[in-house]
Structure 1
């Protein structure tokens, strides 16, 4: 029973708050063709995204809220020979190079999408992908942040991944409809329940450096670059100190007990303080 209690204690965590970077993440607005909802804007003028459902044969209910976005690629007989719809949003805070962010989105495909053109019905129902770029200015696709697989599912599938941008000061996200292999095609992708947040900082309240390969280090999930860490004992002695913590402190020769940490990120100017127990 004692070992079980210690294990449960060692597996508890403190989770800090996170910054919400995107407005209108579920694309709520009046469902209408050729116009995205509030906070989202087309970059290209040739063809613009639709606020779905109920346009061009799309009937799938929203995954979150009432409406969502549909973007398409279209093959044309004359220049520019193809159209790839896109849209952008300005982030509430710029993304910082090397910081971990969680990107999540629900995606689907409409196999009955199409429209009439001079009394000819044109299908726009091939599966395509969603490509997400970051930019320092409006509509710039300067860094590829994430790309979905080919989406051929007609029901919503939710994706979530941690990304770390290489560029600094990315203030805009740009969504681009992308055909497989960059071939021109008449395709569509439906987008809902999108989110981009700083990865939450999860700080353990205890760890067990006993060499069993499980919970051996003071591992802080979501730690940001240039985060200094100082750990002191109850007597005020410094047990560990570094200017750029790499999740590598295993307690050293310090005995079991309660210690006090101060974690500071110099880029964000934030500090977290708390207790952590070493259990040996």
Structure 2
């Protein structure tokens, strides 16, 4: 009996490890006071516990209250600063481990503070902080312009032991401007995402253009403000490469686009169990980045594909998953004999 009790205690401690206190941002709605357990970060003004301040009347997506944060351009106070808050994890996130979370976000076009309008969309940036308060950017939401609550599913994979979680409101572009973001219902999934959570559908507006940013190595690191993370590097001996894609699990309506660097090579393809192949000539002088861009997450998030890559002699297979807020990629290097 004693051994059985010991095992239960260890399991409970492990499951609780990466939780936060008051993830639903509950508290008495108050101007310039964050919800309980959340601490103001930086030199800007304090986030607010909503609803009820600055002409914000939206109901919470979970519980009775939520938090709002602003980024400021010119304002009566704290011009050109942006709000943030943080909290210590019950136990730290470990380096190079992946943790699954979701958060509900929205935007209020009526947000007015100190006679200034904050009616522009901004984004949420999520940082990890070490015990010595060293910051590491772990996830960005991209533009949040919808007025209804939407759930964002995201992964955190820190490269340092992470003691604190930092939520930061930030601009989409420069110069700095006044904008707001509403935040609620932060959830941690210790066993990965549930099979059928509420998920964010992509905007119904047809995507007519894709916007890319590159890192210092010249590699694509974001598409339409969605971060791109390389999951694997593959090496082949010939530059004529055939790609084959199909649905990794049961058919659930996943629709994808694939990009080779900044060129769309497969656009808005509905994944099924039927395999779809195409052949490309790759650059043998540098790495070629193939990125999976999700147009939805089907019935069961995330959007996941099986990918087979072949140069006619060597075949390599992997599984890639992308969300509506981030993209997975594989780098392909050609080493011709």
TM over 0.5: yes
TM-score interval, smaller chain = 0.5 to 0.7
Do the aligned residues in 1 keep the contact of 2:138 with 2:158 (CA within 8 Å)? Answer: yes
Do the aligned residues in 2 keep the contact of 1:21 with 1:197 (CA within 8 Å)? Answer: no
TM-score (norm. length: structure 2): 0.50
**Count, aligned residues:** 185
* Partner in structure 2 of residue 175 of structure 1: 167
Provide, for residues 104-149 of structure 1, a one-character-per-residue CA deviation record: whole Å limited to 9, x for no partner: 1000000000023xxxx210111000000001137x3521111101
Q: Once superposed, which parts of structure 1, at least 4 consecutive aligned residues long, lie more than 2 Å away?
A: 16-20, 76-81, 195-202
* Partner in structure 2 of residue 94 of structure 1: 92
Q: Which of 144, 152, 160 is matched with 1:159 structurally?
A: 152
Task: Give the Cα separation in 1 of the matches to 2:35 and 2:248.
Answer: 47
TM-score (norm. length: structure 1): 0.60
Q: 2:135 matched to 1:137? A: no
For structure 1, the residue ranges without an aligned partner over 5 or more in a row are: 1-15, 203-212, 216-280
* Partner in structure 2 of residue 126 of structure 1: 120
Where 2:21 maps in the other structure, the secondary structure is coil
Distance of aligned partners of 1:156 and 1:35 in 2 relative to their CA distance in 1, 3 Å threshold? same
Q: 2:14 matched to 1:42? A: no
- Which is higher, the Rg of structure 1 or of structure 2? 1
* Partner in structure 1 of residue 141 of structure 2: 148
Q: 2:184 matched to 1:187? A: no
Q: How big is the shift at 1:162?
A: 2.6
Do the aligned residues in 1 keep the contact of 2:74 with 2:177 (CA within 8 Å)? Answer: no
Q: Which of 15, 33, 36 is matched with 1:18 structurally?
A: 15
Where 2:34 maps in the other structure, the secondary structure is coil
Where 1:58 maps in the other structure, the secondary structure is coil
Q: Which moved more, 1:97-106 or 1:65-74?
A: 97-106
Distance of aligned partners of 1:97 and 1:182 in 2 relative to their CA distance in 1, 3 Å threshold? farther
- Structure scoring higher RCO (CA < 8 A, sep ≥ 6) equals 1
Provide, for residues 237-280 of structure 1, a one-character-per-residue CA deviation record: whole Å limited to 9, x for no partner: xxxxxxxxxxxxxxxxxxxxxxxxxxxxxxxxxxxxxxxxxxxx
Provide, for residues 206-262 of structure 1, a one-character-per-residue CA deviation record: whole Å limited to 9, x for no partner: xxxxxxx979xxxxxxxxxxxxxxxxxxxxxxxxxxxxxxxxxxxxxxxxxxxxxxx
* Partner in structure 1 of residue 30 of structure 2: 32
